[in-house]
Amino acid sequence: MLDIFIYGFLIFSMLLGIIAAVYLLMMRLLRPKAPGRFIVVIPGGATGTDLASLVCAARMRLGLLGDIARSEVIALDCGLPEASRRQCEALCHEMDHVRICSPEELLEHLTR
């Protein structure tokens, strides 16, 4: 009975290692070679909680790519209510490389 448990644990560990190795290999192959930056723009047409969850999800996805220094998440304020904007601003202050801006500020940021 103990042998079955040990063999099961070893097989599970090997499969987990293989999956991790394939994931790392794919991320190395998909990473762009040229220097640049990633900007994820999230339009702010949703409510504050929906926008906050979208910002968190986008930040986590960029974190999975492993190149956080060149990435930035921008929440685009297209007429958010004041309470929703304050909630998103608080979220932006908590997380690195996350900003909220208006469409005019986005154009200025992209042209730099």
Written as one string, the DSSP assignment of the chain is -HHHHHHHHHHHHHHHHHHHHHHHHHHHHHS-SS---EEEEEE--S-HHHHHHHHHHHHHHHHHHT-GGGEEEEEE-SS--HHHHHHHHHHHHHSTTEEEE-HHHHHHHHH-
The residues of the chain scoring below 70 in pLDDT are 31-49, 65-69, 112
Place of tokens 């992209």: 110
pLDDT for 48: 57
pLDDT for 35: 54
pLDDT for 20: 94
pLDDT for 98: 79
pLDDT for 90: 82
pLDDT for 84: 75
Place of tokens 């190395």: 28
User: Any residues with CB less than 8 A from the CB of 73 and at least 6 apart, and which?
Assistant: 39, 40, 42, 55, 58, 59, 62, 95, 97, 98, 99
pLDDT for 8: 93
Residue 9 and residue 15: Cα distance in Å, rounded? 10
Give the start-to-end residue ranges of the domains of the chain: 1-30, 34-111
Residue 40 and residue 36: Cα distance in Å, rounded? 13
Q: Which tens digit of pLDDT belongs to each residue from 75-102?
A: 777 777 777 778 778 877 887 777 888 7
